[in-house]
Amino acid sequence: MRPASSSSSSRSSAGGGGAHHHQHNHGGHSISVSPPTCRHAPSSATLDLLILLLVLFSLAFLLASSLSHVARSLSPLLATPPAAAALAYATAALPYLATAAVLAATAFLSCRRLPRRQCRNPRCRGLRKALEFDVQLQTEGALRAGAGSTAGGAEASMWREIEALPWKGGQGGNNPDYECLRAELRRMAPPNGRAVLLFRNRCGCPVAKLEGWGAPKSKRRNKK
């Protein structure tokens, strides 16, 4: 099935009762929902980096303490003045060397690009903060042109994936818990077309769908 030439995206709110702000562009089929987002919640990558820093500092402290203990144990065996002086200087420099090693490791890890989180989809783009909701609109002309079509292309492949997605809430897309969403989709859908709401993971891959069909066009018959 070939898609329409327009799509729209929306984002979900953090709470269940959050208000949605709709923006409609009458020049095209674009609808956006932009709820307020919480920017105070730390990301998992930041927490992982903090834990890594704590582990590195702990290892550096344990290494410095162990080497200092070994140096003090060997100091009676190295009683000669040159050896004792060299051992004292080495013992005094151990904390600084450990700190330099920790800073170098931190700089290396911060400059290195973190691997993207991908799902099991072989075509996953591995996004980090993708939109949770995405609304795709399909007009009547696109539905007629794409009926029974097996043509390739990125858009055709996208709509084939949408057709294969499971319904949100099951029951063939008729779950009464999502009736308010279907009513909103019916208002957004073009005449004789449809609006499909995609539920996406954080990586950007769709996992479920809901759809609403637009109002049918009124056919006026001329009476002779």
Domain of residue 170 covers 7-35+128-213
Name 144's Cβ contacts closer than 8 Å, sequence gap at least 6.
none
Total number of domains constituting the chain: 2
Same domain for 28 and 139? yes
Angstrom distance (rounded) from CA 161 to CA 164: 5
Residue 86 resides in a domain: yes
Residue 101 counted as domain residue? yes
Residues 95 and 57 in one domain: yes
> What per-residue confidence (pLDDT) applies to 82?
64
Looking at residue 16, its pLDDT comes to 42
Instruction: Indicate whether 133 and 26 sit together in one domain.
Output: yes
Does the residue 219 lie in any domain? no
Q: Is the pTM of this model over 0.75?
A: no
Low-confidence ranges of the chain (pLDDT < 50): 1-42, 148, 221-224
CA–CA gap between residue 75 and residue 65 (Å, rounded) = 15
Q: Are residues 197 and 160 in the same domain?
A: yes
Q: What is the pLDDT of residues 117-151, one digit of tens each?
A: 567 776 777 677 777 778 888 887 777 766 545 55
Q: What was the pLDDT predicted at 17?
A: 43
Element (H, E) at 64: helix 44-74
